[in-house]
Structure 1
């Protein structure tokens, strides 16, 4: 197996899979160091960086140093993650113990099964509208749809769920 190097004279892999396999371990080590030893976050960062590279692989594979570019993408992914996290997440080592009260686990499983049969965007519309209780306009903005698009997708998705649930719908409504 060829291993890409940083020198322009060496042969660079033209296949993304070959590139990812040959550079993955090195990227993971770098990410591990960037995250201060957080192996899970390091894996996530490498996966995100490789995803970004894959989207532009045709162009990147013709670069003089795709390995160096991958390092840059990884570092930028890490910095971007740190900025996002700094504004929204707070790390903690303690968790509040909260009892889970699920009065009807079969209802939950039935609804999850019905949702899984919807197209991803229809599922997203229903989850945002009815689970997160967002308005039509908020849902439209989140999904980059028009308000009428959200309403029509909601209607079709609810009809589809009713069809999937069939006789179970009456049973679920009674609970």
Structure 2
């Protein structure tokens, strides 16, 4: 029997989540505007895809309260947080009502009208170019149309269920 003919065991959810908790990543708040209202969620599943054209991806759970807005919006912004902005991450990642989330942080309108965090480490304003379904999530691909960098601030990281920054 060939190794490829043998059924493989699926890793259980708890083991996968524990393993992924060790895969450190930058902490970002992804924002958009839909129907005249601002929406945002905390994400660690953000990745560079290409530099020609400049493209990144972000994953969102389809059960998220923000999902319908992101599913229908043309633009979004990935705002990478800095040390000291842990509360913003917690508010956008928790059960805080969407309307109350933007009380935390100083937000400006980007080129496309999406919320941009004024003192983020870096913000990538994007135009949605593609989206695909994968299990419980949708993966959004965005062509980067504007970047704001903060040379004075480091990036906030999350690993082993804790924040790190310097």
TM-score (norm 2): 0.20
More helix by share: 1
Structure number with higher relative contact order (C-alpha < 8 Å, ≥ 6 residues apart): 2
Larger Rg: 1
More strand by share: 2
